[in-house]
């Protein structure tokens, strides 16, 4: 299977690239900083240097030729304020959707966020804009004809993965390791019959394979 990861050098993207490469999938992706390409190559991961805010859909589509699954794991990550959030988490996804259509890629997995994340806190206007942009991106993707899956992880941590999760259409917002998010995405990549679902993801008791397979039966 050929998988293209937008945001391949990010916390989730790189973990996913490693897992898929170890599984024998062909992995490619887009990374923003030139030096990231050397680090990826040192791990045997091929990727293309490019800025999601500058690349247009036809140029991204050209990189997607032969791709079976497109994973969108990019995000502004708190840098650049509201305009960066709009450009990357918002318009960046629009570009990816259009590129998928042009390249004939049917399956798109989006790393999104809980709409009610941190509702128990006093959050900044920038964070509100982030949540609003993520929800609009979910809505845009869900309205397409693609075989999308929208994955909404809870608060991300760099703790070692547990291999166990909760995965369901509605969960209480807690936390989840980036390792376990990546492992869940890898399972979703290999489970094409799970499609057109919005799934929330937190730490939990269920082995990842079982949790994903359960979603195909409900």
Under rule CB under 6 A, residue 33 binds ligand NAP: yes
Under rule CB under 6 A, residue 73 binds ligand NAP: yes
Under rule CB under 6 A, residue 161 binds ligand NAP: no
Which member of 88, 97, 194, 212 binds ligand NAP (CB under 6 A)? 88
Stretch of residues binding ligand NAP (CB under 6 A), selected from 25-33, 94-102, 142-150, 203-211: 25-33
Which member of 3, 113, 150, 208 binds ligand NAP (CB under 6 A)? 113
104's torsion region: left (phi>0), alpha (psi -120 to 50) or beta? left
Q: b/e map of 187-212 (b: 16 or more CB within 10 Å)? A: bbbbeeebbebbbbbbbbebebeebb
Give the shortest CB-135-to-ligand NAP separation in angstroms: 12
- Taking the least distance from each CB to ligand NAP, the nearer of 13 and 204 is 13
Give the shortest CB-153-to-ligand NAP separation in angstroms: 5
Q: What is the dihedral of CA 159, 163, 165, 168, to 10 degrees?
A: 130
Under rule CB under 6 A, residue 204 binds ligand NAP: no
Residues 6+ apart with CB under 8 A from 79: none
Q: Which helix (H) or strand (E) segment is 212 a member of?
A: helix 208-217
Q: Degrees (nearest 5) of the Cα angle 180, 124, 53?
A: 65
Which residue among the candidates 4, 72, 114, 130 is catalytic per the annotation?
Answer: 130
Q: Which of 108, 107, 127 is nearest to 118 (CA)?
A: 127
Give the shortest CB-217-to-ligand NAP separation in angstroms: 26
- Taking the least distance from each CB to ligand NAP, the nearer of 156 and 213 is 156
Residues 6+ apart with CB under 8 A from 101: 144, 146
Tell me which residues are annotated as active site. 130
Task: Give the residues lining the site for ligand NAP (CB under 6 A).
Answer: 7, 9-13, 30, 32-33, 51-53, 73-77, 88, 111, 113, 153, 155-156, 178
């Amino acid at each position: 299977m050929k998988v293209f990861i937008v945001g391949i050098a990010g916390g989730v993207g790189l973990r996913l690239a490693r897992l898929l490469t170890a599984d024998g999938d062909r992995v490619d992706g887009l990374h923003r900083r030139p030096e990231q390409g050397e680090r990826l190559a040192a791990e045997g991961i091929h990727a293309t240097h490019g800025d999601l805010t500058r690349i247009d859909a036809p140029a991204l589509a050209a990189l997607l030729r032969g791709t079976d699954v497109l994973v969108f794991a990019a995000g502004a990550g708190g840098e650049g304020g509201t305009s960066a959030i709009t450009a990357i988490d918002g318009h960046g996804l629009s570009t990816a959707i259009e590129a998928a259509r042009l390249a004939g890629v049917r399956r798109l997995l989006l790393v999104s966020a809980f709409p009610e994340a941190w509702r128990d806190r006093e959050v900044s206007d920038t964070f509100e804009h982030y949540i609003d942009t993520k929800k609009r991106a979910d809505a845009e993707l869900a309205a397409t004809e693609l075989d999308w899956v929208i994955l909404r992880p809870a608060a991300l941590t760099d703790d070692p993965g547990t291999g166990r999760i909760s995965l369901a259409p509605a969960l209480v917002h807690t936390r989840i390791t980036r390792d376990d998010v990546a492992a869940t995405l890898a399972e979703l990549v290999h489970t094409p019959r799970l499609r057109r679902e919005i799934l929330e993801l937190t730490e939990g008791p269920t082995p990842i394979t079982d949790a994903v397979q359960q979603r195909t039966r409900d």
